[in-house]
Amino acid sequence: MKQILIVTTVLLFSLVKSPLFAQQDNFIADYLERLENSRKYLILVAEMMPEDKYDFRATPESMSFSENLLHIGYAIDWHSQSLLGGRESRDWNTDTIFKVANKSKEDMIATIDKAFDQAIKLIEQFDTTKMDEELDYFGLNRTKRQIFLLLADHITHHRGQMLVSMRLNGLVPPRYVLFQ
């Protein structure tokens, strides 16, 4: 009788927990697909902009095309490695990896590609039971699930600024690809 009770308890627990884990695993798989598509599109945008236009600013107070590009890299690193992965944050004021100074177009694209690689590697290993853990995000409590979404929004926001820079320089940005 004791064995039947144990087996029944285990089965009931697995039925209750399995859909939750499956949803979280689906979230990670869906997110990784979106992040990979976002990488491809961002790198295509970066490749299409002529290097002599990388310093272009839509307005004097705007970030330049290159600053937007490397700011995206910094945000990918911070959201994934620090907020989701627990590594100490880089100091924006002293960091040199995501600063434009003395970097060629090729260097900047390689930096972005590496940031995506490292984020994807971390997210593939992410413990989905930690999705509901809360963090301080600029004074607001946000779950790690929300951090994933904030990162995707941030990439899109700054990439959109880069697309405007392309248009203002007479370039036609690459066609938008869905699900990114």
The secondary structure of residue 146, as a DSSP letter, is: H
Instruction: Check the annotation: does 71 bind a ligand.
Output: yes
State the alpha helices, DSSP H only, in 49-179: 65-77, 105-124, 144-168
79 assigned binding-site residue: no
157 is in an annotated binding site: no
| Paired residues of 140 in beta bridges | 137
> Is the Cβ–Cβ distance between 65 and 160 less than 8 Å?
no
Residue 128's alpha-carbon distances to 44, 132, 172, in angstroms, are 31, 9, 40
Rounded to 5°, the CA angle 152-154-159 comes to 100
135 has which bridge partners? 142
> What residue numbers does the annotated binding site for a divalent metal cation cover?
71, 154, 158
> What residue numbers does the annotated binding site cover?
71, 154, 158
